[in-house]
Amino acid sequence: MSVDKTHHSNGASSPYAQMHLADGVSEHYDQVMYAPDSYDTLIWSLERPFLRSVAASMVRPPGGLRFLDFACGTGRIISALEDLASVSLGVDISPDMLSAARTKVQHSDLRVGDILTDPHVAPGPYDLITSIRFFVNTEEEMRRRVMPSLRNLLAGPDSRLVFNIHMNTINLLPNRLYRLIHGWPPYRSMTVWQAQRLARDAGLEILELHGFGLLPARLHRGGLARAARWFDQLAAGRSPINWLCRDLVFVCRLARA
């Protein structure tokens, strides 16, 4: 395990990236967003076994599975999957985030850097690439630049790129209306169609769509919390209505010519 800070780019290429250069951002992420009883922790408990099943089911090339977790943050994803890979690399723009990730991983390499300005930070190729909670948060221009860059790091037709949108616009429609009535700005979100177009324009084919968190987050607090948790556990994964869920996970491969 190592943390390489030599690749850090002070010219972080977006306001979203700049925001994550502040000290202490990892504490809010781990202690507030992913507190033991939070809604995000619930969604992660549903999503984690699915991500492991994707990694475990992949074709193992000679030399084993090469895994990249892009925008790895505090190490939630890479620490959950690293035991399934022979080589695992986590890349993030934030030194503070990677300091937290360092306490979670066992053998993964962790590097601070921006793949757009310094491609050597993640030279590739990789058999599995994950990018979780990035594309909704970042700016549209960055989405269009980053997705093709990740696509170009895939090793071949058996490789997979897994990304998500954790704020599905359709699921958030009641929330958006509530915030509009109160004069509050809406949360940043994406639609399933925006995500599909993003993948398609980057030369990727979506093989699977999985949804997590069908019920509103508010129902997971108070007297209905236990019933809401049971229902969302039942509905998690692939279903005819998974595109309505809050968190959508896409499994992609290189588009066929």
Q: What is the pLDDT of residues 13-39, one digit of tens each?
A: 576 666 666 667 888 888 988 999 899
**Per-residue model confidence (pLDDT) at position 179:** 73
Name the residue with tokens 């850090």.
8
Average confidence score pLDDT of the chain: 89
Where residue 111 falls among pLDDT bands split at 50, 70, 90?
A: very high
Alpha helices in the chain (DSSP H): 15-19, 25-28, 39-57, 76-81, 95-102, 140-151, 173-181, 192-201, 225-235
Helices 140-151 and 192-201 sit at what angle, rounded to 10 degrees?
A: 50
CATH code at position 179: 3.40.50.150
Tens-place pLDDT, residues 198-211? 999 999 999 999 99
Where residue 232 falls among pLDDT bands split at 50, 70, 90?
A: very high
Question: Does position 239 have pLDDT exceeding 80, yes or no?
Answer: no
The verdict on whether omega for the bond into residue 15 sits within 30 degrees of 0, i.e. cis, is no
- Tell me the three state secondary structure of residue 23: coil
Return d(Cα 30, Cα 244) in angstroms, integer.
27
**Per-residue model confidence (pLDDT) at position 5:** 40
**Per-residue model confidence (pLDDT) at position 101:** 97
What percent of the chain shows pLDDT beyond 90?
72
**Per-residue model confidence (pLDDT) at position 22:** 64
Where residue 7 falls among pLDDT bands split at 50, 70, 90?
A: very low
Return d(Cα 205, Cα 229) in angstroms, integer.
32
Question: Does position 88 have pLDDT exceeding 80, yes or no?
Answer: yes
The arithmetic mean of pLDDT across residues 143-163, rounded, is 97
Residue 205, both tokens:
């084919």
Number of folded domains that form the chain: 1
The gap from C-alpha 37 to its chain's centroid, in whole angstroms, comes to 20
Residue 143, both tokens:
């989405």
- Domain membership of residue 58 as a residue range: 2-254
The arithmetic mean of pLDDT across residues 187-208, rounded, is 95
Question: Does position 8 have pLDDT exceeding 90, yes or no?
Answer: no
**Per-residue model confidence (pLDDT) at position 18:** 67
Question: Does position 1 have pLDDT exceeding 50, yes or no?
Answer: no
Return d(Cα 60, Cα 66) in angstroms, integer.
9
